[in-house]
């Protein structure tokens, strides 16, 4: 199974992401756009994992969810990753209580390390991926999309769950959904 941990942003944010992608798609028609259903912020990517490890993952992640209260994020602006003239990823920016998001991500990474999942060497950068380049050299049209995103504010989303997802052919299926402390 191809697994990752994430937080979800709810149906209202999915609707806003859908609308934004539909506005941006004509600007960058060759991009590989994400499916807005299941909009999420990845915390830790685990990669290929044997199904037999699911119970151990659940045991490691459950206490983490008890240590963190729900928090609110905003989605606004955007940018690109990759070479400045030929970026590879287009993303929407994340604001709001990013300290709470960062603390949750750090603890998830820490508890997964003893299970054989190495911590990422790069600093965690919260972002909502919108599109990836199909071209190995990147996609210069992402720069235009970035300008469109600069003035956008999609509103707030309350984060109430830590989720272990399985990625299956572009669909994300929750394998474990853990409410944060005090969440319904």
Active site residues: 40, 127
Residues constituting the chain: 184
Bridge partners, 141 (sequence order):
none
Burial (Cβ within 10 Å: 0-12, 13-18, ≥19) of residue 91:
buried
**Structure-token pair, residue 170:** 């572009």
Name the token pair of 75: 């989605």
Query: Which secondary structure element, helix H or strand E, spans residue 8, and what is its range?
Result: strand 2-8
- 3-state secondary structure (DSSP) of residue 178: strand
In whole angstroms, give the CA distance from residue 177 to residue 68.
Answer: 14
DSSP assigned state of 31: S
CA distance 10 to 73: 11
């Amino acid at each position: 199974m191809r697994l990752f941990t994430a937080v979800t942003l709810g149906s209202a944010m999915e609707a806003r992401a859908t609308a934004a992608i539909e506005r941006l798609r004509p600007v960058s028609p060759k991009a590989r756009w994400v499916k807005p259903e299941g909009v999420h912020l990845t915390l830790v990517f685990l990669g290929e994992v044997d199904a037999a490890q699911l119970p151990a993952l659940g045991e490691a992640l459950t206490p983490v969810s008890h240590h963190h209260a729900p928090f609110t994020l905003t989605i606004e602006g955007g940018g690109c990753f990759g070479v400045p003239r030929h970026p590879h990823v287009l993303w929407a920016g994340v604001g709001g209580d990013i300290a709470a998001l960062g603390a949750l991500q750090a603890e998830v990474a820490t508890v997964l390390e003893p299970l054989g999942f190495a911590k990422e060497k790069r600093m965690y950068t919260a972002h909502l991926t919108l599109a990836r380049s199909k071209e190995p050299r990147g996609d210069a049209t992402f720069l235009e999309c970035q300008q469109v995103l600069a003035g956008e504010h999609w509103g707030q989303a309350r984060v109430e769950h830590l989720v272990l997802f399985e990625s299956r052919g572009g669909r994300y299926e929750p394998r474990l959904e853990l409410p944060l402390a005090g969440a319904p």
